[in-house]
Amino acid sequence: ALSSEQYEGTEKTRYSRRGHIPSSVNLSAKSLLDADARMLPVDDLLSRSADVVPAVAEPVVIYCGGGVSACLTALALIRSGYEDVKVYDGSLEEWTAVPALPMVVGRESEGAIQDDRCQRS
């Protein structure tokens, strides 16, 4: 549920390391809101979520930086018809604090770098 920049590790962050959890895909929480910060209609949510999270991928575990935006994305997925959605409430705040847990910087489809020593903010 991160912004593209947070997911790719291209912007500074308050977390211990930049990037994303290996094998994760990104459905930004902000992309699920309209210009007035209201959740998009169900058809739009379904379209956006289906592009990123195939229905056969359940259960789906959502994370963000601290767990809050992940809840919005989880709600959007549930409204889109996903039934087995979980929120990793520790999210990157918890994950990045453990140096042994890997992080990926960049887009995995474009040869991203996976390393325990990813850039710090």
Q: Residues 17-38: pLDDT tens digits?
A: 999 999 899 999 999 999 999 9
Is 120 part of any domain? no
Residue 98 has pLDDT above 70, yes or no: yes
pLDDT surpasses 70 at 105: yes
Q: What would the pLDDT profile of 45-62 be if each residue is shown by its tens digit?
A: 988 888 788 766 678 999
- Which range has the worst mean pLDDT, 2-11, 44-53, 90-99? 44-53
Strand partners, 86: 61
Query: Residue 103: exposed, middle, or buried by beta-carbon count in 10 A (0-12, 13-18, 19+)?
Result: buried
- Overall domain count for the chain: 1
pTM for the model stands at 0.82
Q: In DSSP terms, which residues pair with 33 in a beta bridge?
A: 39
- 9 is in which domain, residue-wise? 4-115
**Could you tell me the CATH number of the domain that includes residue 35?**
3.40.250.10
